[in-house]
């Protein structure tokens, strides 16, 4: 039903645009989830934390779009998966971001992939080795997003074979593909900032250790 006055018509059009954008993003999230084996609510959690759903978001560091990809990351994922030229295109940004999230999960596991996604794998590995601390932004990011991933028990699947997905592109060299593997995220009392004492990539430790980092 059309609105009787211009103000109501404008409000209705805004609601329609927002609804259309939501549906569009939902379709892209579903596609990315199926293609890369990442649960949909993980993708939504990253989008919420990274850009608050703003398609044209740009960070002070230059990260772009819904999933806040740095230019180098975008260029690499774009070439790898034959995406378009616009990093702000919702579909391409979600596909590129989800593929990168999957890479970080395969490389660092359930306990490290969020920090690696946000800070970059080089910075995360420096932190694991004790060479540098994690950025405060990354600490806040993990603390904010981890509870969103704890809402249910989640399943991490190996990436699905699909067109434009090079075989093994999302696995470390020599890594074998795994079947569906149930992953239990850490509980709310866990601290995401304690450095592991050994080589295990574990980003979570008791809360009591937080002040020492």
Q: Is residue 190 helix, strand or coil? A: strand
Which CA distances in Å does 136 have to 37, 55, 89, 175? 29, 25, 29, 32
Q: Whole-angstrom Cα distance, residue 147 to residue 124?
A: 20
pLDDT of residue 110: 82
In a domain, 166, yes or no: no
Mean pLDDT over each residue of the chain, to the nearest integer: 70
Q: List, by residue number, the catalytic residues.
A: 50
Phi, psi of 35 (to 5 degrees): -75, -35
Domain CATH number, residue 118:
1.10.530.10
In a domain, 186, yes or no: no
In a domain, 39, yes or no: yes
Q: Which domain holds residue 46?
A: 17-150
User: How many domains is the chain built from?
Assistant: 1
pLDDT of residue 12: 47
In a domain, 130, yes or no: yes
Least confident of 9-13, 31-35, 71-75: 9-13
Which CA distances in Å does 167 have to 30, 49, 78, 176, 190? 21, 30, 16, 12, 36
In a domain, 118, yes or no: yes
pLDDT of residue 147: 81
Q: Whole-angstrom Cα distance, residue 60 to residue 56?
A: 13
Least confident of 111-115, 128-132, 157-161: 157-161
């Amino acid at each position: 039903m059309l609105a009787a006055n211009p103000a109501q018509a404008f409000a209705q059009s805004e609601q329609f645009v927002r609804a259309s954008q939501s549906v569009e993003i939902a379709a892209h999230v579903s596609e990315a989830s199926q293609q890369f084996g990442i649960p949909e609510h993980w993708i939504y959690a990253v989008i919420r934390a990274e850009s608050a759903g703003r398609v044209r978001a740009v960070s002070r560091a230059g990260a772009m779009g819904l999933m806040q990809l740095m230019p180098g990351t975008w260029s690499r994922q774009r070439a790898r998966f034959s995406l378009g030229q616009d990093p702000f295109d919702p579909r391409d940004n979600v596909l590129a971001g989800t593929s990168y999230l999957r890479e970080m999960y395969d490389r660092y596991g359930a306990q490290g992939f969020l920090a690696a996604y946000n800070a970059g794998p080089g910075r995360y590995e420096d932190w694991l080795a004790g060479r540098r601390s994690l950025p405060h932004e990354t600490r806040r990011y993990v603390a904010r997003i981890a509870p969103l991933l704890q809402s249910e028990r989640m399943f991490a699947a190996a990436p699905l074979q699909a067109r434009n997905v090079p075989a093994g592109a999302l696995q470390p060299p020599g890594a074998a593909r795994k079947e569906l593997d149930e992953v239990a995220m850490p509980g709310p009392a866990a601290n995401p900032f304690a450095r592991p004492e050994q080589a295990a990539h574990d980003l979570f430790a008791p809360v009591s250790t937080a002040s020492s980092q």
